[in-house]
Amino acid sequence: MKYLDEFRDPALARNLLARINRLVADRSADEPPLAIMEVCGGQTHAIIRNGIDQLLPDAIELIHGPGCPVCVTPLNIIDKALAIAARPDVVFCSFGDMLRVPGTGRDLNSVRSEGGDVRIVYSPLDAVNLAEDNPDRQVVFFAIGFETTAPANAMAVHQARALGLDNFSVLVSHVLVPPAIEAIASSPTSRVDGFLAAGHVCSVMGTRQYGPLVERFGLPIVVTGFEPLDVLEGIRRATAQLVEGRAELDNAYPRVVSEPGNVPAQQMVNDVFTVCDRQWRGIGMIPASGWCLSDRYAEFDAETRFEVGTIDTPESAVCRSGEVLQGLIKPNQCEAFGGQCTPRTPLGATMVSSEGACAAYYQYRRLDGSPAEVGVG
Amino acid sequence: MCLAVPGKIVEIRDERGTRMATIDFDGIHKDICLAYLPEIEVGDYAIVHVGFAISQVDEVSALETLAMFRELGILDEELGPEPASTEPAAGEGAGGG
Ligand code: SF4
């Protein structure tokens, strides 16, 4: 496929790696490695799958960030989803990777095997169509995701209103990238020297929100794509800034990301959603880090419709996904990794989603962190 | 779920006032919503996420980036062999996916 294969070319990857090596050739082994965080789980997956972190010189360390919406959806929202999905009058629609995220004692898959009508949809509009086709059932869509997914989810709510559907609602758990970067950069334990910002989030939102973060924290932010060459180029540009003592906002994914982003998508999102505080699984509350339904669309809120607003549940004591999500430990440093906790028996959400750091390590790495295979895909 | 991939627009139509398209992902056809790319045309490439085209792939920019990556290799040859201590097993992994 055009614009996929070209950005996976091993010869060009070698060029980029050679340049990265040159940039750090003068650093002494005593200096701590330059710590670059890829915020997005899609990039974590690409990095681990292709072994990019292991091809990099020792002077660069990649820290895996919290950018997996499945992973950071808080336990109490999962429990609300389980309560709604178990109702006999409800058709519960979700993206596929939410089905195995453990809530308290069970997941959506087990609700389904106990007779709940839980369906996987590709697009949120599929859920709207289901509501239209089943006027006697309540169709609920699990609206999770970052800014990339919000325009699609917003359109579903907008269309439901346009169609006059009173049997459609959404359980919203949207999260936003800039407040997460802010939370990480301002944490006293943070080791992050620079960020790779998520290219597809920026394709919607543009790059404007990141300039103030660069200014405030004095850390480079490089908007980065998802193919192996894109990731290497993002790392190369961040490394060049760090070595030269610069901190700038840079766009290494200009074929997809523009400064203003997708304006019609932003308008729809701003109509349907409004910024709110949001709990992140494993991390805790980050102020103004999410979107919930705006007052104009409050009638589509599944939490109110099914009276699950008060469900609140503590997280597993064993799971260290919070530290993983903040880049404080690598997944294989968790005691439960690969033993008690595997993709079949996940203790934390980072082991469930293929974009979660724990699952990526499990799939592509041995317990000691070495590659399970050479990553030529 | 955050996966978003480029596809080629093969057909555009109006469904109840919404701009929809058939998109080709390497031979697999899917129906997607074009509401957020009102100007994209048949033959263009778009990044698609959960059934929505969210960004048009700029062909000129894509070619420029690839040319720049090639250029880095040429420059590198002119600069001589890269520092030996950090020579990775290049090409073994980064080309995968
Ligand atoms: S390996 Fe499992 S228990 Fe440990 S942090 Fe990851 S998800 Fe949590």
For residue B35, the domain's CATH number is: 2.30.30.140
Please report the ipTM that was assigned to this predicted complex. Answer: 0.88
Q: Cα(A207)–Cα(A209) distance, rounded to whole angstroms?
A: 6
Distance A115 CA to ligand 1 centre (A): 29
Q: Is residue A14 part of a domain?
A: no
Q: What is the pLDDT of residue A368?
A: 61
Strands A249-251 and A273-280, by their bridges, are: unpaired
Whole-number Cα distances in Å, B60 to A232, A279, A297, A331: 20, 41, 40, 40
B51 contacts A122? CB cut-off 8 A:
yes
B65 falls within a domain: yes
Half-sphere exposure for A278 (CA within 13 Å, toward CB): 29
pLDDT band per the 50, 70, 90 thresholds, residue B91: very low
| pLDDT tens sequence across B18-69 | 999 999 988 899 999 999 999 999 999 999 999 999 999 998 888 899 888 8
Identify whether B64 is part of a domain: yes
What's the pLDDT tens digit per position in A155-182? 999 999 999 999 999 999 999 999 999 9
Q: Among residues A187, A360, A210, A213, which one has the least CA distance to residue A284?
A: A187
How far is the centre of ligand 1, averaged over its atoms, from the C-alpha of A319 (Å)? Answer: 5
Residue B71: its pLDDT value, please? 86
DSSP letters, A65-86, are EEE-HHHHS-HHHHHHHHHHHT
Within a domain: A300: yes
Strands B45-49 and B28-33: unpaired
Whether residue B36 and residue A10 make contact (CB cut-off 8 A), yes or no, is: no
Please list the alpha-helical segments (H only) found in chain A: 10-24, 41-49, 52-55, 69-72, 75-85, 108-113, 124-133, 150-162, 177-186, 199-205, 211-217, 228-243, 263-272, 302-305, 321-325, 357-364
Site from A4, A6, A9, A14 to mutate, B interface, most B CB atoms within 10 angstroms? A14
A103: Cβ–Cβ under 8 A, 6 or more apart, which residues?
A75, A78, A79, A81, A82, A313
- Joined tokens for residue A250: 């840079």
Here the CATH number for the domain that contains residue A292 is 3.40.50.11740
Tell me the angle at which helices A228-243 and A10-24 cross, rounded to the nearest 10 degrees.
Answer: 10
The range of the structural domain enclosing residue A114 comes to 71-176+285-305
A321 compared with B13, residue with greater pLDDT: B13
For residue A104, what are its two tokens? 């308290």
The residues near A214 (Cβ < 8 Å, ≥ 6 apart) are: A220, A221, A247, A248, A249
* Alpha carbon distance B60, B53 (integer Å): 19
pLDDT of residue A69: 87
> Is A64 contained in some domain?
no
Is residue B28, in this structure, part of any structural domain at all?
yes
Report the pLDDT value the prediction gives residue A260, as an integer from 0 to 100.
Answer: 97
All residues at 6 or more sequence positions from B47 whose CB lies less than 8 Å from its CB, including other chains? A200, A203, A256, B4, B5, B6, B53, B54, B55, B56, B57
Give which of B9, B25, B30, B86 to mutate to test A binding, by max A Cβ within 10 Å. Answer: B86
What's the structural domain count of chain B? 1
Q: What does the pLDDT read at residue B93?
A: 38
A229 touching chain B per CB within 8 A: yes
Contact B94 A55 (CB under 8 A): yes
Report CB contact under 8 Å: A371, B70: no
> Has residue B90 been placed in a domain?
no
Beta bridge partners of A337: A341
**Which of A262, A128, A148, A158 is closest to B38 using CA atoms?**
A262
Residues 99-138 of A with CB under 8 A from B: 122-126
The answer as to whether A195 is a domain residue is no
**A149 and A119 Cβ atoms separated by less than 8 Å:** no
Total domain count, chain A: 1
- Structural domain including B64 reads 5-79
Regions of chain A with pLDDT less than 70: 1, 366-377
Q: Rounded to an integer, what distance in angstroms lies between the CA atom of residue A311 and that of residue B52?
A: 32
If contacts are CB pairs under 8 Å, which of residues 326-345 in chain A contact chain B? none
pLDDT level of residue B81 (50, 70, 90 thresholds): low
Residue-wise pLDDT tens digits, A126-158:
999 999 999 999 999 999 999 999 999 999 999
Residue B95 lies in a domain: no
> Ligand 1, atom 3: nearest CA belongs to which residue?
A319
> Which region holds residue A338: left if phi is over 0, alpha if psi is between -120 and 50, else beta?
left
| Ligand 1 pocket member A320 (CB < 6 A) | yes
**CA A47 to CA B94: how far, in whole Å?**
8
Q: Is residue B88 part of a domain?
A: no
**Is A340 a domain residue?**
no
